[in-house]
Amino acid sequence: MTEKIMIMIPTYNERENIVRLIEEILGILPNVEIVVVDDNSPDGTADLVQGMEVIYPWVHLLLRHGRRGRGLAGIDGFRYALQQGAEYIIEMDADFSHHPGYLPAFLEAIKECDVVLGSRFVDGGESIDRGLIREAITRFAVLYIKWVLGINIADGTSGYRCFRRKVLEAIDLDKLVSHGPPIVQEILYKCCLQGFRIKEIPIVFKDRHRGKSSLHPLILLDAFWMILRLKWGMVKR
Ligand SMILES: Nc1nc2c(ncn2[C@@H]2O[C@H](COP(=O)(O)OP(=O)(O)OP(=O)(O)O)[C@@H](O)[C@H]2O)c(=O)[nH]1
Ligand SMILES: [Mg+2]
């Protein structure tokens, strides 16, 4: 692939993961660019990324101030990738749940579709090291997303994905409304409504080993509510 590939990683307190993750990505795909979108993490994640920018000019830090959120950060990260002329944009979490070893498989799969999802719920995919409760919540969420939104996607919770540029242009980043994690479903739903070709590839998803989860019950409730709002058209598209 000769076109620009940009990997977008939102971070909040990922000091224990980010350097190793960037090094592993560049070990696997030396020709990609990486943008880390950090919400001014109190643990100083951004300082570490700044240090890496000096060593690797193709690593970029997008430092956000003001209101923080997984969704807000993702939107800014995608905008940055488009401005920089990326043709393929991959988003992934910083905590190694999304293992960089799958990146070549994403780039292979995107040749024949518009969006690639890393899925735990297709043949060959699985989650490991997950607590029973987290696993149950994920399984319920997957069914809920399928059922409420009426989309035939095996893992609608997956935030490990690759998009062609034209997809991010078409979904209109300015109109996205999810500030938090439901951004993942909002974008997926728009991709489905617009008829983009979506392919799921199997991934083994490991629970985070380092760093703290930013998930809490209120965020979960908000996510379930947001999916209803998407369905009812209470969010503009
Ligand atoms: N910029 C930014 N990134 C965030 C924010 N919240 C979470 N993230 C990042 O988004 C990714 C997913 O968040 P996680 O905390 O791993 O959420 P999760 O995978 O549902 O839950 P755990 O793995 O259990 O922590 C990680 O890379 C986080 O660092 C935020 O408010 N701002
Ligand atoms: Mg995680």
Residue range 167-197, pLDDT digits in tens: 999 999 999 999 999 999 999 999 999 999 9
Q: Which of 20, 138, 214 has most ligand 1 atoms within 8 Å of its beta carbon, as the pocket-test mutant?
A: 214
The CATH number for 49's domain is 3.90.550.10
Predicted local distance difference test score (pLDDT) of residue 44: 97
Our answer on whether the CB atom of 15 is closer than 6 Å to any ligand 1 atom is: no
The model's pTM? 0.96
Predicted local distance difference test score (pLDDT) of residue 143: 97
Does some domain include residue 121? yes
Does some domain include residue 236? no
- Rounded to whole angstroms, how far apart are CA atoms 165 and 209? 32
Does some domain include residue 177? yes
> In total, how many domains does the chain have?
1
Our answer on whether the CB atom of 95 is closer than 6 Å to any ligand 1 atom is: yes
Q: Does residue 75 contact residue 173 with C-beta atoms inside 8 Å?
A: yes
The Å distance, Cα 158 to ligand 1 centre, comes to: 12
- Say how many Å lie between the first and final Cα of the chain, rounded: 32
DSSP 81-103: HHHTT-SEEEE--SSSSS-GGGH
Does some domain include residue 68? yes
Does some domain include residue 237? no
**Other CB atoms within 10 Å distance of the CB of residue 31:** 10
Does some domain include residue 168? yes
Structural domain of residue 148, as residue ranges? Answer: 5-231
Q: Give the atom of ligand 1 at the shortest distance from the alpha carbon of 69.
A: 31
Chain segment 63-86, per-residue pLDDT in tens: 999 999 999 999 999 999 999 999
Strands of 161-164's sheet in order across: 59-63, 33-38, 5-11, 88-91, 161-164, 115-119, 198-202
Does some domain include residue 126? yes
- Closest Cα partner for 117 from 159, 68, 61, 168? 159
- Closest Cα partner for 121 from 152, 93, 82, 96? 152
